[in-house]
Amino acid sequence: MNGQALAPSYGEILQLDDLLGSARVHDEDVDSVLFLATHQSCEIFFAVMLRHLEAARTALDADDGPLAARRIAPLPRIVATLTGQFDGLATLSPAAFDAIRTELGSASGFQSAQFREVEYLCGLRDARFVNTVGFTEQDRARLRARLEERSVEGAYRDFAERCPDPAAVERVRGALIDFDEALAVWRARHAVLAERFLGGATGTAGSDGASYLWLAARRRVFPTAWAASS
């Protein structure tokens, strides 16, 4: 090889052996594979969202509106990808969904600590979620830290107050609203899926199912940005 080291392969760069080894794609039940792998992919994207939100907050605190808008811009597309995954779950039969739900027991997507981190980092801070049953002490420590740190909403509000360039403020505001709107659509699609399989029944882990999701869809994580449009 002329003394030159081989460049890492595609699989090595993506660490596919480790990733697919831990992914829930080897279960015997194919319906469970679809359900569990979908949720695992959501958690990967939540981690990506957290990195972008942190970078956007840093940019806003540095008065770099263009960079903040650029870091926020992919988030609505990521959420749209997650919304599209519900179309795959909707192909499950009611019997398959019931079987998966029984297998889950008390486990629920309500227990996604990373998604609560996304909400907290944005600025939607309901401290009651820290005590969600199923969270580990490590989960709770991360959520408490998010409650104490600066939110993207706060960073945007301060940036908008001191920035002398209205166009720069409007660009960031539009990016935040696009992301917030995508989250509302994601929650609404989730609510429709819950109604499809649960009707008015309770959701996993005893949650209120579709009714909770419909209420959640009305939340706005960036109220300052929405208020500025009125």
pLDDT in tens, 149-181: 999 999 999 999 999 999 999 999 999 999 999
- The Cα 100–Cα 105 span in angstroms is 9
Number of C-beta neighbours around residue 69 at 10 A: 21
Model confidence at 213, in pLDDT bands (50, 70, 90)?
confident
**Residue 199 Cα distances to 32, 94, 154, 156, 209, angstroms:** 21, 11, 38, 39, 8
Largest CA distance in the chain: 68
**Residue 83 Cα distances to 74, 89, 98, angstroms:** 14, 11, 21
pLDDT digits (tens, 9 = 90+) for 28-62: 899 999 999 999 999 999 999 999 999 999 999 99
Model confidence at 210, in pLDDT bands (50, 70, 90)?
confident
Better-scored residue on pLDDT, 110 or 78: 78
pLDDT at 225 over 80: yes
Model confidence at 207, in pLDDT bands (50, 70, 90)?
low
Choice among 60-74, 103-117, 162-176 with the minimum mean pLDDT: 103-117
pLDDT at 1 over 60: no
pLDDT at 206 over 80: no
pLDDT at 199 over 80: no
pLDDT for 108 equals 84
- The Cα 85–Cα 89 span in angstroms is 7
pLDDT for 113 equals 94
**Residue 52 Cα distances to 26, 72, 212, angstroms:** 31, 7, 27
Compute the mean pLDDT over every residue in the chain, rounded to the nearest whole number: 91
b (16+ CB within 10 A) / e for 33-64: ebbbbeeeebeebbeebbebbeebbebbeeeb
**Minimal CA–CA distance to 82: which of 120, 37, 45, 32?**
45
Question: CA angle, 85 as apex, 210 and 87 as ends, to 5°?
Answer: 70
Residues of the chain with pLDDT > 90, as a percent, come to 76
